[in-house]
């Protein structure tokens, strides 16, 4: 098995619906410190967290994790239900 990912602080207890556009790149906050949830604003600087960049495969609405406990970053896997 691979190394377990360090998980950030809980920024919220519900996912955020985000409209993404095919081919656009987005940068998800993994540390939980961003004031622009669910996106990175650079608040991870000085911590061991790296933002997660992803490119939308199609234009759609996706649920992005705000609890930062997901095992499928940046997407919600309902880990918030166990907090």
pLDDT in tens, 41-65: 999 888 888 999 999 999 999 999 9
How would you class 39 by CB atoms within 10 Å of its CB: exposed for 0-12, middle for 13-18, buried for 19 or more?
middle
Predicted TM-score of the model (pTM) = 0.89
pLDDT of residue 2: 47
- CA-CA distance, 72 to 46, in Å (whole number)? 24
pLDDT band at 40 (very low <50, low <70, confident <90, very high): very high
Number of domains in the chain: 1
Is the pLDDT at 1 greater than 50? The verdict is no
User: Among 20, 47, 17, which residue's Cα sits nearest to residue 32?
Assistant: 47
Q: Which two tokens stand for residue 51?
A: 């933002």
Cα 23 to its chain centre, rounded Å, is 18
Domain span at 8: 1-83
Residue 4, pLDDT > 70, answer no
């Amino acid at each position: 098995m691979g190394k377990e990912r360090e998980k950030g602080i809980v920024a919220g207890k519900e996912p955020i619906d985000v409209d993404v556009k095919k081919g656009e790149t987005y940068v998800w906050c993994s540390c939980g410190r961003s004031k622009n949830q669910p996106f990175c604003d650079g608040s991870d600087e000085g911590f061991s967290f790296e933002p997660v960049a992803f490119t939308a495969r199609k234009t759609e609405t996706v649920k992005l994790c705000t609890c930062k406990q997901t095992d499928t970053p940046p997407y919600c896997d309902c880990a918030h239900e166990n907090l």
